[in-house]
Structure 1
């Protein structure tokens, strides 16, 4: 296939209910990431949303996956839900100093997920997106401004090489489903997440950055329902069209409540 690459995976990988189903019975927990990475082509790291991780963790995750594998990393809720994108420089420095750069070539885009209560404010969004690092070396420079939430002996503030760093925004307020919001994202080359949420939150299909970033939370029942063959055929066709236009495409299944996510991801990979 010419054009961009399509990667398909899951949001997180550590789900007890998957043991004995997607994960073979008796598989040690430490080998779950490696097993998932053998069957999928990308995974979202979502522990980073809840708390600052450590460089040793990121390095271990990198060591568990094959060459060419890509992680997306979810930005911290401290920035999106508590700071609400304001006065974010030090929290961003802490996030990037916490070890992301240890992922090396497996580091893919950063996902920023806003809460439903976060209404579009052009000035706030513009300022936040303008402050995001666009290369790994810029992320390393920013990480030097970390505070004592990331102690010096646990901070990683260097990049192995300079590579582009891309960002994607998932919003849940309908106030973002406007030409004004799309224009801000496009100006900063930040991907608009196309989120399938069983009608709960906006489903906005706008091309605003170098990536197409899709999160499939369930089309019938949020986080719970599986995707039919027909639905997966349609998503496969969309992915092929985006890739043919030169876009790199990342698709993550987050319908994990009943264990559908990894199986649906493998079914989509088979169609591509």
Structure 2
């Protein structure tokens, strides 16, 4: 069976506590992205969740990273943090047309993250998924859904995601449902248990575990795995350690 490419990264690239722990002391902020992209294989852009960016900004990011690197783009909160998701067409379009396609072949999945209070409503969610196009400006799009309420442990939700070729995010978090259901031709994982007292965030056994899981997910297609939250200062080291194991 053909295997997909496994990419591993972090959320964002500008975090003060990474200066001196991940970034060399004195490294200019303008060089942080290029430094990170040389050592990781993907990064989740979080700024797009809070507000729009300029097309030139996306184009600049694309030029800064090497071939094969991919950005995940976190979708606007105005599209996902609403009572009726299916009413969000304008917000979805505003997000998709802000210039994300300037990333070109550096564009990875789009992450649609929902509030922890958002419960599964089959009709509403079907209406929302219908708003997500398979392409934008001729560029293929991949959609990942991070749901955070137990009501989404539902075969009806899995069927809707599968019909839309949308990946259900595997969220390794004690608070939210951890769903490992293959619904798309790629997988998306957010690993959130980095420990401050471990130099690599996760001990060797845990990194072996997640590397094995990633290889298993790769039998479905491409894999995007991000070390997020937890002891955030350790996430770059965790990502680099996992990349080394996968190599």
Aligned to 1:17: 17
Equivalents in 1 of 2:160, 2:127: separation in Å?
A: 10
1:55-104 deviations in whole A, cap 9, x for unaligned? 11111111110111110100001111136523222111211121101101
Aligned to 1:209: 184
Aligned to 1:193: 169
1:103-158 deviations in whole A, cap 9, x for unaligned? 011011100000101000101111111121101xxx23xxxxxxxxxxxxxxxxxx
Equivalents in 2 of 1:64, 1:45: separation in Å?
A: 14
Q: How does 1:19-38 map to 2 (within 5 A)?
A: 19-38=19-38
SS at match of 1:86: helix
Choose the corresponding residue for 1:168, options 138, 144, 157: 144
Superposed CA RMSD in Å reads: 1.8
Equivalents in 1 of 2:97, 2:156: separation in Å?
A: 33
CA contact (8 A) 2:110 2:144 kept: yes
Aligned to 1:181: 157
Between Structure 1 and Structure 2, how many residues are aligned? 243
Alpha-carbon offset, residue 33 of structure 1: 0.5
Alpha-carbon offset, residue 250 of structure 1: 0.5
Aligned to 2:57: 57
SS at match of 2:151: helix
Alpha-carbon offset, residue 261 of structure 1: 0.7
**Relative to 1, partners in 2 of residues 1:258 and 1:131: Cα closer, same or farther, differing over 3 Å?**
closer
TM-score for both structures, normalised by structure 1: 0.85
TM-score for both structures, normalised by structure 2: 0.93
- Point out 4+ residue stretches in structure 1 off by more than 3 angstroms: none
CA contact (8 A) 1:186 1:208 kept: yes
Equivalents in 2 of 1:182, 1:226: separation in Å?
A: 32
Equivalents in 2 of 1:116, 1:84: separation in Å?
A: 15
Gaps of 5+ in 2: none
Equivalents in 1 of 2:195, 2:172: separation in Å?
A: 9
1:178-200 deviations in whole A, cap 9, x for unaligned? 21211111121110100001x11
Gaps of 5+ in 1: 141-161
CA contact (8 A) 1:196 1:219 kept: no
CA contact (8 A) 2:195 2:230 kept: no
> Is the counterpart of residue 235 in structure 1 residue 210 in structure 2?
yes
SS at match of 1:195: strand
CA contact (8 A) 2:193 2:231 kept: no
